A and B are shown apart, each in its own frame.
Chain A
Amino acid sequence: MTEHIKILMIDDHPMIIEGYQNTLLYTKRDNQELQIEIATNCDEALSAINKAVKTDLPYDVLFVDISLPASTDGSMNSGEDLAEFARKVLPKSKIIILTMFNESFRIHNIIKTINPEGLLIKSDLTSNELANAFQTVMDNIPFYSATVNQLIRRTISSDIVIDDKNRKILHLLSQGVKTKNLAAHLDISLSAIEKRKKQLRDLFEVEDGQDETLLNQARKKGFV
């Protein structure tokens, strides 16, 4: 019996979509028939999703890239927003997130807000792995990249628990954002940030008080 699979690939690089297409087409099972649609920005993706909802022809699988140009109406800023929206409107669709980001904070966030069936890091992705992930997800089993799995394990195995704000602080610091500019990003006061940083330093047992050391420690424990 032929399995008809409707796919939406969202990525702003045609080359990458081409790569996905190539991989999937070459590795699909014989009984699978792929119907692939493409969106290279948020607007296109949004209209495709809306159309699927309207026509009641939901996608089986959505390949979503995280870094996407924002939608013109401003409702979608990234693939993350898009995936979240899709999860809401197309609850039965399986979502595979493909991202260049391998930072702990982003991955953590993605898992928390979207809980995708597949989470793949582009940098260590091979065509085999992509095919493998696609098939595994199709079999209703979640598939995470090895990097993601490692990260999750590391975070879980350490006794350090930090909240989202602190996680974001670590993330922003790792991005090279200066402490004095953190307030603007987090919408909290500078003194609150300092307090949180102190908390983090205590948590990660940083004794010299340097951001560098803090980041190194956090990275080691998989929080960045």
Chain B
Amino acid sequence: MKGFIFFLLSIVFCVNLSFTQNYSKEKFDRILYYLNDSNKPKYSQEQRKELVLKAKKLAEEINSYSLLLQCNSKLLEYEEEKGNTDSFIKLSHENLRLAEKYKDTATIAQLNKDIGYFYFDKKVDSAHFYNHRAEKLFKLLNDHFNTASVLLDIALLQRGAKDFTGSELTSIEGIMFLNKIKNPSKEVVRKKSFFYNNLGVVFNVLEQYDKSIEYQNKSIELKLKLKGNNKSAIGISRNNLGNAFKNAGYYEKALKTLGAILEDETIERESPDFYTVVLDNYAHTLYLSNDRETLPGLYYKALKVSNINGVDSYNSIIILQHLAEYYNDLGLKDSAKYYGYEAKRIAEKYYNDDLLKSLLLLSEIEEGEIAANHLRNYVRLNDSLQKSERAIRNKFTRIKFETNEIEEENVKIARERMWLLIISIVVIVASFLLYIIFTQRNKNKKLEFIQQQQQTNEEIYNLLLAQNEVIEDARALEKKRISEELHDGVLGKLFGARLSLDSLNTNTSPEAMKTRSQYIAELKMIEEDIRKVSHELNADFVSGSGFRDIIKTLVETQTVAYGLEYKLEWESSIDWDDVSNKIKIHFYRIIQEALHNIYKHAKASKVNLVFKLENNAVCLSIKDDGVGFDVNRAKSGIGLKNMNSRIKEIKGKINIISKKVEGTTVSIDVPIS
């Protein structure tokens, strides 16, 4: 019946299991379907988002980490496209939590990188924070490429915060990581070229133009190796190279480099911003090399392209500054002032180095109080900018330090956890061992006790056996005696009588008759003899004396050893031969124990032992005249425990009555048969 129920249960369980499996399989398929659909261009962005959300809900139901992650990444893409900062951050953090829950370090690192990248042009310190995290994790994962990518972002951020040395170091570290990659891919080369570009720019700012030129050349070299459309990238590097030449005073080379860029006529159309920068650079180089034929026409051209849609552009600032500088040089103060103020006006929007430059320029163009004013403003602005830069740099350092600290803390926690684990394992193992040792010892003790008990039992048993043998011998002797008596006495007489009667049988003389009656009388006497022998046979003189003798010997020797007087009484005749050896052995031991206890504790001088038979139970009472004891308190003593266990084994009862001064009586009732 039980088996059947179990069978039913297991069937139900199996069905249930397969059902759940089917169920999740179905959901799984649906998720994949939704995700697949969301990639199709026929849906609008909103519809696609809807599909992904549906998939996400299902993924949550079946608790599939990878699918959930996939859905979230898709959603992230949409949010990023829309530039929805809050949603993007929210989703990213959701993903982060998920990845942390599953300890998916690679994903955590990637998410940190993505968030850092997201913040790159929005919140510098946050970007720095996430980038640092990503960097650590990628380093941990030995992912050199991603480490380098993050380092590139960090280097750019540092450059932006004017931490040029930091940026330089980071760039070199990044290049080192990229160099570790065997068989570099296109992306690796591209990243490397970016690093070189960054180094070129940094050294340009640091006025180490030779180095700047060297790095820019390297960058261009790498970029040229790359296939595909990287014209603008090359252009940027070339522009930077030209700048470096210009700053280094190699005007010829600068003009050649910049001119090469401008030769490409598509550039004006394709990236007008870049075109204006290069053109301005070119014009400025000409200005610096005192080749002013084409000036200020080129400046105007650049300004025109920069202002193409009538809005002030950032690039205009520097062109305007250059124009003001040009006119100031020519002594055309008004024009210079016009362009100078124009530059300042636009630069004020950005509140950065360009405003600083404008102020400096104006202080040179203006005279007297106005110039001084501009100079003062310049100093103030410079201080403020430097302060904020320093603050950002400090923040960067702090972030780095904090991430390090967190890392260290993590390591510390991990180490603590390991120690905790080791200690708990040690404790568990130790306690387990202790437990085993303890139980083993207990077991051994018990075994030893049993062994001891058995040994004493055996001794007593042997004693009983020896006693039995003595009895047996005595019996044999008695048998022999009786046999001899029969043989020699009775049988001889009987034979004689028979022989005589036989010989007189046929004789009828009165003499013979008299003799016969004599022999008949003789026969009577023989009868008497036989009766006597029979009686002797009947009275088994040794029956049951064996155990009594043993007990007597025991009590005798014990009391002599303990210096006690004793009285041993057998109130009723007990047929000890019918009592099992087990009971006899236990009686022996109990008496031994009791006498020992009396000697040890009672300070008695007399002991009285009485055996009785009552209601088919052997009753033994052992009474002493010692000091007595508190029965309840002494119950836990080993001696009493032993006695109790022995009594229990032979299904008997023990009763101890003890009174101070009067002595103790131990009564034992053991049913026999």
Contacts and interface: CB of A to CB of B under 8 A. Distances in A.
B497 A19 contact: yes
A100 B504 CA distance: 22
Contacts of B497: 15, 19
Interface stretch (A29-37, A123-131, A161-169): A123-131
A14 to B, nearest CB: 8
B499 A16 contact: yes
Interface string A54-92: 000000000000010000000000000000000000000
B500 interface: yes
A130 B492 CA distance: 16
Given A15-B522, A176-B476, A22 B500 contact: yes
Given A26-B503, A27-B503, A13 B476 contact: no
Contacts of A26: 503-504, 507
A19 B507 CA distance: 14
Contacts of B499: 16, 19-20, 22-23, 125-127, 130
Contacts of B492: 11-13, 15-16, 100
Secondary structure at chain B's binding surface: helix, strand, loop or mixed?
helix
B496 A18 contact: yes
A6 interface: no
Interface in B480-537: 487-488, 491-493, 495-500, 502-505, 507, 515, 522
Given A13-B496, A16-B496, A100 B507 contact: no
B503 A19 contact: yes
B512 to A, nearest CB: 9
A122 B500 contact: no
Interface in A98-127: 100, 122-123, 125-127
Nearest to B495: A122
Contacts of B503: 19, 22-23, 26-27, 127, 131
Interface residues of A, number: 25
B504 to A, nearest CB: 7
Contacts of B476: 176
Chain A contact surface mostly: helix
Contact of A13 (B493, B504, B505, B515): B493
Interface string A175-189: 010000000000000
For B495, B503, B505, the residue with the greatest tally of chain A CB atoms inside 10 Å of its CB is B503
B515 to A, nearest CB: 8
Contacts of B487: 67, 100
Contacts of B500: 15, 18-19, 22-23
Interface residues on B, range: 10 to 19
Contacts of B515: 22
A23 B503 CA distance: 5
Contacts of A125: 495, 499
B280 to A, nearest CB: 132
Contacts of A27: 503
Contacts of A18: 496, 500
Contacts of B507: 26
Given A22-B499, A127-B499, A67 B504 contact: no
B491 A126 contact: no
Interface in B456-498: 476, 487-488, 491-493, 495-498
B656 to A, nearest CB: 47
A15 B491 contact: no
A100 B476 CA distance: 22
B495 A127 contact: no
B495 A19 contact: yes
A127 B493 contact: no
B484 to A, nearest CB: 9
A131 B505 CA distance: 14
B519 to A, nearest CB: 9
A122 B499 CA distance: 9
Interface string B134-177: 00000000000000000000000000000000000000000000
B510 to A, nearest CB: 15
Contact of A15 (B496, B502, B504, B505): B496
B491 A22 contact: no
A20 B495 CA distance: 10
A15 B493 contact: yes
Nearest to B526: A15
B470 to A, nearest CB: 15
Nearest to B505: A127
Nearest to B504: A22
Among the interface residues A13, A27, A131, which one has the most CB atoms of the partner chain B within 10 A? Answer: A13
Contacts of A122: 495
Contacts of A100: 487, 491-492, 495
A15 B499 CA distance: 9
Contacts of A127: 499, 502-503, 505
Contacts of A131: 503
B270 to A, nearest CB: 124
B496 A126 contact: no
A45 B503 CA distance: 25
Nearest to A128: B502
Contacts of B488: 12, 67
A126 B502 CA distance: 7
Contacts of A17: 496
Nearest to A122: B495
Most buried by A among B492, B497, B505: B492
A122 B492 CA distance: 9
Nearest to B476: A176
Interface in A193-221: none
Contacts of A176: 476
B537 to A, nearest CB: 16
Interface in A120-147: 122-123, 125-128, 130-131
Nearest to B499: A19
A7 to B, nearest CB: 15
A67 B491 CA distance: 12
Contacts of B522: 15
A141 B492 CA distance: 27
A26 B493 CA distance: 20
Interface of B: 476, 487-488, 491-493, 495-500, 502-505, 507, 515, 522
7 contacts: A15-B497, A16-B493, A26-B503, A27-B503, A100-B491, A123-B495, A131-B503
Given A123-B495, A128-B502, 20 more contacts: A15-B495, A15-B497, A15-B522, A18-B496, A19-B495, A19-B503, A20-B499, A22-B500, A22-B504, A22-B515, A23-B502, A23-B503, A26-B504, A26-B507, A27-B503, A67-B487, A100-B491, A100-B495, A122-B495, A126-B502
